[in-house]
Amino acid sequence: MKDHTVRKHRIIVLGAGYTGAIAAGRLARRLRREDVALTLVDAEADFVERVRMHQLAVGQELRPRPFAEMFAGTGVALRLARVTAVDVDRRTVTVAPAEDGPAEELGYDTLVYALGSGWNTHGVPGTAEHAHDIAGRPGALRLRERLAGLGAGAPVVVVGGGLTGVEAATEIAEARPDLGVALVARGELGDWLSPKGRRHLRKVTDELGITVHEHTAVSDVAAGHVTTADGTSLPAAVTVWTAGFAVHPIARATTLETSDTGQIVVDATLRSLSHPDVYAIGDAALAMGPGDKPLRMSCASGVPTAWQAADTIAARLTGGKVPEASVRYVNQCISLGRSEGLIQYVTADDRAVDAALTGRLAALYKELVCKGAAWGVAHPTLGLPSRRRPVVRGTTGAAAPAATPAPGPAS
């Protein structure tokens, strides 16, 4: 006799950064556990507060946030593993254990791709071999060890004048005033800020004794120095490379439609244009924001995309109305060490306006934002009660009978 038992709809979320962890937790609070099998894949056992990696690098201790505690009782199954391949035509994901062990293939019905981004060397010779990154915990810990071993007067060069570079340079200079910290920026220091914001940033870098090299590009990184495009050699016992981010390369290796940057091209609901059972969120997605401009890679962009994707998936599975939402920017929050900060207010499409908050109050504001972001990961519905709805047969991406051949092995 044919078995018409309905199997659970398999949702796999790849990556447990801010976006992936929020999406998984929010889906768990939107869908009934008896209807879905929800798996979150990440190589780390603890949530990593990426916005605090510059703090970790200078020796500050961060509060541990174990996923086992965060997702206890939610129905989210955490798989500690590295993603090694994705086959979107067969609807499978290949993972390798975080420790030694054989690779395994997991099948899915809906995939949420949130593998995020890492540092971007831009192909500059010597960067991968000699520079340090703070795009994740492993890099921040390596930099932490290296900085701890430096003696007084050792030169540290931070390459990149954007948000990450500014935060790294000021954090290092404040924590280690005995070091000679330099910041290398392609343009003017803080050229994306308002005049008030630029003045405050320059004031803080001057007070911290940071040497700023403006309108300067680095063409080569060596063990003890960096070379600029005009041939100048800058001594560097440590080089910290913060010149942009690059997305995880796995998406580009699939048949997903991706952009020149390797991001997955999505519609307004974060659904892949080429594969409707795949959603991309955070840095991994090429999503359009206000002014028809791509959203920048940031926590400010990623968190709303996680909300949107999770609510959209839940609505499509339960036969509900797909929510309409758009990401708009309000401010850019910049820490300048522990006692100084800069909150630059911006337009909806992320252009600086005249208003900016500076000083100690801005530092407190940024700290509250960081704490709020971490709280939001553990509370993905922002404190509102869970409303788990049943999956409806026949809706887009709904569960299939157990007798129906799955496109890949079940997880």
- Mean pLDDT value across the chain: 92
Dump pLDDT digits (tens) for 282-340: 999 999 998 889 999 999 899 999 999 999 999 999 999 998 878 899 999 999 999 99
Encoded amino acid at 10, one letter? R
State the pLDDT at residue 402: 36
Q: SS in 3 state form for the chain?
A: CCCCCECCEEEEEECCCHHHHHHHHHHHCCECCCCEEEEEEECCCECCCHHHHHHHHCCCCCCCCEHHHHCCCCCEEEEEEEEEEEECCCCEEEEEECCCCCCEEEECCEEEECCCEEECCCCCCCHHHHEECCCCHHHHHHHHHHHHCCCCCCEEEEECCCHHHHHHHHHHHHHCCCCEEEEECCCCCCCCCCHHHHHHHHHHHHHCCCEEECCCCEEEECCCEEEECCCCEEECCEEEECCCEEECCCHHHCCCCECCCCCEEECCCCEECCCCCEEECHHHEECEEHHHEECCCCHHHHHHHHHHHHHHHHHHHHCCCCCCCCCCCCEEEEECCCCCEEEEEECCCCCEEEEEEEHHHHHHHHHHHHHHHHHHHHCCCCCCCCCCECCCCCCCCCCCECCCCCCCCEC
State the pLDDT at residue 118: 92
Measured between alpha carbons, how far is 345 from 348 in angstroms, rounded to an integer? Answer: 10
Asked if pLDDT for residue 125 goes beyond 70, the answer is: yes
To the nearest whole percent, how much of the chain has pLDDT over 70?
94
State the pLDDT at residue 396: 47
State the pLDDT at residue 179: 98
State the pLDDT at residue 183: 98
Place of tokens 């768990």: 28
Banded model confidence at residue 189, pLDDT cuts 50, 70, 90:
very high
Task: Specify the pTM.
Answer: 0.91
- Which of 234, 195, 237 is CA-nearest to residue 213? 234
Dump pLDDT digits (tens) for 138-169: 999 999 999 999 999 999 999 999 999 999 99
Dump pLDDT digits (tens) for 195-214: 999 999 999 999 999 999 99
Dump pLDDT digits (tens) for 22-49: 999 999 999 999 999 999 999 999 999 9
Phi and psi at residue 142, in whole multiples of 5°?
-65, -40
State the pLDDT at residue 394: 60
Of 57-71, 254-268, 394-408, the range with the lowest mean pLDDT is 394-408
Dump pLDDT digits (tens) for 106-116: 999 999 999 99
- Report the relative pairing of strands 285-286 and 264-265 from DSSP bridges: parallel
Banded model confidence at residue 385, pLDDT cuts 50, 70, 90:
confident
